[in-house]
Structure 1
Amino acid sequence: MVSDTKRKVLEYFTAGRNMYKLMEFGEARQLFAQALELDPDDGPSRVYLDRCQHYLDNPPPEDWDGVFVMQTK
């Protein structure tokens, strides 16, 4: 059984992923942050929050295909 909190985290994460794919990184970052407020240990939301910040600081090219390429180990 999924708790109400986990269900809400999933809603925020899903909405955040949709915004991420649309290159709406500011909105996506806010949604991932809301998920993390409910569950600070949610790893996927943390990863995408960090990626959103990366793309806000370093915008991807217009033809970006949604793939995150790690630059360092």
Structure 2
Amino acid sequence: LSKEKSQLVQAFNEALDLYHDQEWTKAKKRFVEANELEEEFPHRPTNPSTVYIDRCDHFKLEPPDKDWDGVWTMTTK
């Protein structure tokens, strides 16, 4: 992997660990850092980091139960 891709993978994995630990603010910060390293692709409106950034914002306002298993349940189509 290139240096940039290695940094992206590290930032994203750390963010995901924080996300599963329900550390929403810290996770969002790392997802933002990962997002800055994401490659832009034409006609792709989002990437994994932006999806998790939105989820962190949601869970900060509406936290899941303490025994949450990390699964995101879709409520709209």
1:66 lines up with 2:76 in the alignment: no
Distance in 2 of aligned mates of 1:50 and 1:68: 12
TM-score between the two structures when normalised by the length of structure 2: 0.83
1:7 lines up with 2:6 in the alignment: yes
Higher helix share: 1
1:30 lines up with 2:29 in the alignment: yes
TM-score between the two structures when normalised by the length of structure 1: 0.87
- For the aligned residue pairs, the C-alpha RMSD in angstroms reads 1.5
Distance in 1 of aligned mates of 2:56 and 2:2: 27
- Aligned residue for 2:52? 48
**Aligned residues: percent identity?**
39
Return 5+ residue gaps in structure 1 as ranges. none
